[in-house]
Structure 1
Amino acid sequence: MRTPTEDRTDAVFHALSDRTRRDILRRLLGGESSVSALAPMYEMSLTAVQKHVNVLERAGLVTKRRRGREALARGDVEAVRSAAHLLRELEELWRGHVSRIDGLVDAGSQEEDDHAGHRHQH
Protein backbone atom coordinates (compact mmCIF):
# COMPACT_ATOMS: atom_id res chain seq x y z
CA MET A 1 0.00 0.00 0.00
CA ARG A 2 1.32 3.39 -0.99
CA THR A 3 1.68 6.16 1.54
CA PRO A 4 0.87 9.84 0.93
CA THR A 5 4.58 10.58 1.27
CA GLU A 6 5.40 8.10 -1.50
CA ASP A 7 2.70 9.60 -3.73
CA ARG A 8 4.05 13.11 -3.11
CA THR A 9 7.62 11.96 -3.77
CA ASP A 10 6.52 10.42 -7.07
CA ALA A 11 4.72 13.66 -7.98
CA VAL A 12 7.84 15.71 -7.19
CA PHE A 13 10.10 13.48 -9.28
CA HIS A 14 7.58 13.52 -12.13
CA ALA A 15 7.34 17.32 -11.98
CA LEU A 16 11.12 17.75 -11.94
CA SER A 17 11.71 15.21 -14.71
CA ASP A 18 10.79 17.77 -17.36
CA ARG A 19 13.27 20.49 -18.38
CA THR A 20 10.56 23.07 -19.06
CA ARG A 21 8.97 22.51 -15.65
CA ARG A 22 12.37 22.85 -13.96
CA ASP A 23 12.88 26.14 -15.77
CA ILE A 24 9.39 27.40 -14.86
CA LEU A 25 10.04 26.44 -11.24
CA ARG A 26 13.34 28.39 -11.24
CA ARG A 27 11.53 31.46 -12.53
CA LEU A 28 8.73 31.10 -9.99
CA LEU A 29 11.19 30.70 -7.13
CA GLY A 30 12.40 34.18 -8.09
CA GLY A 31 8.95 35.62 -7.46
CA GLU A 32 5.30 35.46 -8.29
CA SER A 33 4.29 35.63 -11.94
CA SER A 34 1.14 35.30 -13.95
CA VAL A 35 0.99 32.18 -16.03
CA SER A 36 0.19 34.32 -19.07
CA ALA A 37 3.45 36.25 -18.51
CA LEU A 38 5.40 32.98 -18.48
CA ALA A 39 3.96 31.66 -21.73
CA PRO A 40 5.87 33.93 -24.16
CA MET A 41 9.15 32.68 -22.67
CA TYR A 42 8.51 29.22 -24.10
CA GLU A 43 7.78 27.99 -27.58
CA MET A 44 4.40 26.57 -26.59
CA SER A 45 0.84 27.64 -26.06
CA LEU A 46 -0.51 29.27 -22.91
CA THR A 47 -2.49 26.07 -22.31
CA ALA A 48 0.70 23.98 -22.41
CA VAL A 49 2.42 26.31 -19.93
CA GLN A 50 -0.67 26.14 -17.69
CA LYS A 51 -0.45 22.35 -17.75
CA HIS A 52 3.21 22.48 -16.70
CA VAL A 53 2.38 24.86 -13.85
CA ASN A 54 -0.47 22.56 -12.78
CA VAL A 55 1.93 19.59 -12.59
CA LEU A 56 4.25 21.67 -10.40
CA GLU A 57 1.30 22.70 -8.25
CA ARG A 58 0.07 19.09 -7.80
CA ALA A 59 3.59 18.17 -6.68
CA GLY A 60 3.42 20.95 -4.09
CA LEU A 61 6.34 22.85 -5.63
CA VAL A 62 4.23 25.81 -6.75
CA THR A 63 1.25 27.60 -5.25
CA LYS A 64 -1.32 29.39 -7.34
CA ARG A 65 -3.84 32.07 -6.56
CA ARG A 66 -6.30 34.08 -8.60
CA ARG A 67 -6.27 37.82 -9.04
CA GLY A 68 -9.40 38.55 -11.02
CA ARG A 69 -9.17 36.48 -14.19
CA GLU A 70 -5.43 36.07 -13.85
CA ALA A 71 -3.71 33.01 -12.37
CA LEU A 72 -0.62 33.92 -10.36
CA ALA A 73 1.95 31.32 -9.44
CA ARG A 74 4.87 31.30 -7.03
CA GLY A 75 7.50 28.68 -6.28
CA ASP A 76 7.30 27.16 -2.80
CA VAL A 77 10.83 27.43 -1.40
CA GLU A 78 10.14 25.08 1.53
CA ALA A 79 8.78 22.38 -0.78
CA VAL A 80 11.88 22.67 -2.97
CA ARG A 81 14.10 22.43 0.13
CA SER A 82 12.22 19.31 1.16
CA ALA A 83 12.72 17.80 -2.31
CA ALA A 84 16.44 18.70 -2.18
CA HIS A 85 16.69 17.03 1.23
CA LEU A 86 15.13 13.87 -0.21
CA LEU A 87 17.62 13.91 -3.07
CA ARG A 88 20.52 14.26 -0.61
CA GLU A 89 19.20 11.26 1.34
CA LEU A 90 19.02 9.22 -1.87
CA GLU A 91 22.53 10.34 -2.80
CA GLU A 92 23.84 9.16 0.58
CA LEU A 93 22.05 5.84 0.15
CA TRP A 94 23.59 5.33 -3.29
CA ARG A 95 27.04 6.35 -2.06
CA GLY A 96 26.72 3.66 0.61
CA HIS A 97 25.79 1.09 -2.04
CA VAL A 98 28.68 2.16 -4.27
CA SER A 99 31.11 1.98 -1.33
CA ARG A 100 29.97 -1.57 -0.55
CA ILE A 101 30.32 -2.54 -4.21
CA ASP A 102 33.80 -1.00 -4.31
CA GLY A 103 34.68 -3.00 -1.19
CA LEU A 104 33.49 -6.22 -2.80
CA VAL A 105 35.44 -5.47 -5.98
CA ASP A 106 38.58 -4.67 -3.97
CA ALA A 107 38.15 -7.88 -1.93
CA GLY A 108 37.70 -9.87 -5.14
CA SER A 109 40.82 -8.30 -6.67
CA GLN A 110 42.82 -9.07 -3.53
CA GLU A 111 41.59 -12.66 -3.57
CA GLU A 112 42.63 -13.04 -7.23
CA ASP A 113 46.06 -11.58 -6.41
CA ASP A 114 46.43 -14.03 -3.52
CA HIS A 115 45.53 -16.98 -5.76
CA ALA A 116 47.90 -15.79 -8.48
CA GLY A 117 50.72 -15.48 -5.93
CA HIS A 118 50.18 -19.06 -4.74
CA ARG A 119 50.30 -20.37 -8.32
CA HIS A 120 53.61 -18.60 -8.98
CA GLN A 121 55.20 -19.97 -5.78
CA HIS A 122 54.68 -23.62 -6.74
Structure 2
Amino acid sequence: MSAPSPKHDVFQAIADPTRRRLLQLLGDKDMAVTVLSGHFPISRTAVSKHLRILSDAGLVREQKVGRETRYSLQPEPLLELKRWLAYYERFWDNKLTVLRQFVEADDPEPLRPKGPRLVDAGKESGQ
Protein backbone atom coordinates (compact mmCIF):
# COMPACT_ATOMS: atom_id res chain seq x y z
CA MET A 1 0.00 0.00 0.00
CA SER A 2 1.44 3.38 -0.96
CA ALA A 3 1.56 6.48 1.23
CA PRO A 4 -1.50 8.72 0.98
CA SER A 5 -1.07 11.66 -1.35
CA PRO A 6 -0.88 15.08 0.30
CA LYS A 7 -3.99 17.26 0.45
CA HIS A 8 -2.06 20.13 -1.14
CA ASP A 9 0.72 19.84 -3.66
CA VAL A 10 3.98 21.77 -3.45
CA PHE A 11 2.92 24.18 -6.19
CA GLN A 12 -0.28 25.12 -4.37
CA ALA A 13 1.56 25.44 -1.09
CA ILE A 14 4.20 27.86 -2.35
CA ALA A 15 1.75 29.91 -4.42
CA ASP A 16 1.10 32.22 -1.47
CA PRO A 17 3.80 34.77 -0.48
CA THR A 18 3.07 34.29 3.23
CA ARG A 19 3.77 30.58 2.94
CA ARG A 20 6.96 31.23 0.98
CA ARG A 21 8.11 33.59 3.74
CA LEU A 22 7.27 30.95 6.38
CA LEU A 23 9.48 28.46 4.52
CA GLN A 24 12.32 31.00 4.49
CA LEU A 25 12.01 31.60 8.22
CA LEU A 26 11.94 27.89 8.96
CA GLY A 27 15.02 27.36 6.78
CA ASP A 28 17.12 28.95 9.51
CA LYS A 29 15.71 27.13 12.55
CA ASP A 30 12.67 25.41 14.01
CA MET A 31 10.10 27.84 15.41
CA ALA A 32 6.83 27.91 17.30
CA VAL A 33 3.76 29.51 15.76
CA THR A 34 3.94 32.33 18.33
CA VAL A 35 7.42 33.27 17.10
CA LEU A 36 6.48 32.86 13.43
CA SER A 37 3.35 34.98 13.76
CA GLY A 38 5.47 37.88 15.02
CA HIS A 39 6.89 38.21 11.51
CA PHE A 40 3.51 38.87 9.88
CA PRO A 41 0.74 41.49 10.10
CA ILE A 42 -1.87 38.71 10.32
CA SER A 43 -3.33 36.78 13.24
CA ARG A 44 -1.74 33.72 14.81
CA THR A 45 -4.76 31.74 13.59
CA ALA A 46 -4.08 32.82 10.00
CA VAL A 47 -0.41 31.82 10.34
CA SER A 48 -1.54 28.45 11.73
CA LYS A 49 -3.76 27.93 8.68
CA HIS A 50 -0.82 28.64 6.37
CA LEU A 51 1.32 26.21 8.37
CA ARG A 52 -1.39 23.56 8.03
CA ILE A 53 -1.29 23.90 4.22
CA LEU A 54 2.50 23.63 4.25
CA SER A 55 2.22 20.60 6.51
CA ASP A 56 -0.38 18.98 4.24
CA ALA A 57 2.06 19.42 1.33
CA GLY A 58 4.84 17.82 3.38
CA LEU A 59 6.92 21.00 3.49
CA VAL A 60 6.86 21.45 7.27
CA ARG A 61 6.69 19.06 10.19
CA GLU A 62 5.08 19.70 13.56
CA GLN A 63 6.66 18.51 16.79
CA LYS A 64 5.35 19.00 20.32
CA VAL A 65 7.98 20.48 22.63
CA GLY A 66 6.48 20.93 26.06
CA ARG A 67 3.33 23.01 25.69
CA GLU A 68 4.17 24.44 22.29
CA THR A 69 4.28 23.04 18.80
CA ARG A 70 7.45 23.73 16.85
CA TYR A 71 7.60 23.67 13.08
CA SER A 72 10.56 22.60 10.99
CA LEU A 73 11.24 22.81 7.28
CA GLN A 74 11.08 19.57 5.30
CA PRO A 75 12.70 20.57 1.97
CA GLU A 76 12.45 17.21 0.20
CA PRO A 77 9.13 17.99 -1.55
CA LEU A 78 10.80 21.06 -3.09
CA LEU A 79 12.80 18.68 -5.29
CA GLU A 80 9.65 18.24 -7.40
CA LEU A 81 9.62 22.00 -7.96
CA LYS A 82 13.35 22.03 -8.72
CA ARG A 83 12.95 19.30 -11.35
CA TRP A 84 10.04 21.15 -12.95
CA LEU A 85 12.00 24.43 -13.11
CA ALA A 86 15.11 22.68 -14.46
CA TYR A 87 13.26 21.99 -17.70
CA TYR A 88 12.78 25.73 -18.27
CA GLU A 89 16.34 26.71 -17.36
CA ARG A 90 17.47 25.81 -20.87
CA PHE A 91 15.30 28.62 -22.26
CA TRP A 92 16.70 31.15 -19.79
CA ASP A 93 20.26 29.94 -20.39
CA ASN A 94 19.78 30.30 -24.17
CA LYS A 95 18.51 33.89 -23.81
CA LEU A 96 21.39 34.81 -21.50
CA THR A 97 23.91 33.31 -23.91
CA VAL A 98 22.52 35.35 -26.80
CA LEU A 99 22.57 38.50 -24.66
CA ARG A 100 26.17 37.87 -23.58
CA GLN A 101 27.25 37.33 -27.20
CA PHE A 102 25.58 40.58 -28.21
CA VAL A 103 27.13 42.58 -25.37
CA GLU A 104 30.59 41.12 -25.95
CA ALA A 105 30.53 41.61 -29.74
CA ASP A 106 33.11 44.09 -31.10
CA ASP A 107 30.71 45.80 -33.49
CA PRO A 108 27.20 44.87 -32.36
CA GLU A 109 24.45 45.53 -34.83
CA PRO A 110 22.00 48.00 -33.29
CA LEU A 111 18.87 46.43 -31.88
CA ARG A 112 15.90 47.22 -34.05
CA PRO A 113 12.43 45.95 -33.41
CA LYS A 114 11.19 43.57 -36.06
CA GLY A 115 7.99 44.35 -37.88
CA PRO A 116 6.39 47.65 -38.90
CA ARG A 117 7.63 50.81 -37.27
CA LEU A 118 5.14 52.62 -35.11
CA VAL A 119 4.72 56.27 -36.05
CA ASP A 120 3.06 58.95 -33.97
CA ALA A 121 -0.60 59.11 -35.08
CA GLY A 122 -0.52 62.92 -35.29
CA LYS A 123 2.42 62.92 -37.71
CA GLU A 124 0.82 60.32 -39.96
CA SER A 125 -2.40 62.28 -40.37
CA GLY A 126 -0.52 65.52 -41.08
CA GLN A 127 -1.39 67.23 -37.80
TM-score class, shorter-chain normalisation, is 0.5 to 0.7
- Tell me the alpha carbon deviations over residues 31-50 of structure 1, each in whole angstroms, 9 at most, x when there is no partner: 11111101011001111001
Q: Which amino acid aligns with 1:24?
A: L
Q: Which amino acid aligns with 1:12?
A: V
The residue that corresponds to 2:19 in the other structure is: 21
In structure 2, how many angstroms separate the alpha carbons of the residues matched to 1:68 and 1:9? 28
In structure 1, how many angstroms separate the alpha carbons of the residues matched to 2:14 and 2:83? 14
Please list every run of 5 or more consecutive structure 1 residues that lacks an aligned counterpart in the other structure. 96-122
Q: TM-score, normalised by structure 2?
A: 0.60
The residue that corresponds to 1:81 in the other structure is: 79
Cα distance change on mapping 1:68 and 1:9 into 2, 3 Å = closer
Cα distance change on mapping 1:10 and 1:59 into 2, 3 Å = closer
Instruction: State which drifts further: 14-23 or 60-69.
Output: 60-69
The residue that corresponds to 1:31 in the other structure is: 29
Please list every run of 5 or more consecutive structure 2 residues that lacks an aligned counterpart in the other structure. 92-127
Q: TM-score, normalised by structure 1?
A: 0.62
The residue that corresponds to 1:47 in the other structure is: 45
The residue that corresponds to 1:109 in the other structure is: none
In structure 1, how many angstroms separate the alpha carbons of the residues matched to 2:8 and 2:45? 24
Instruction: State which drifts further: 62-71 or 39-48.
Output: 62-71
In structure 2, how many angstroms separate the alpha carbons of the residues matched to 1:63 and 1:46? 18
Query: RMSD in angstroms over aligned alpha carbons?
Result: 2.6
Q: Which amino acid aligns with 2:54?
A: L
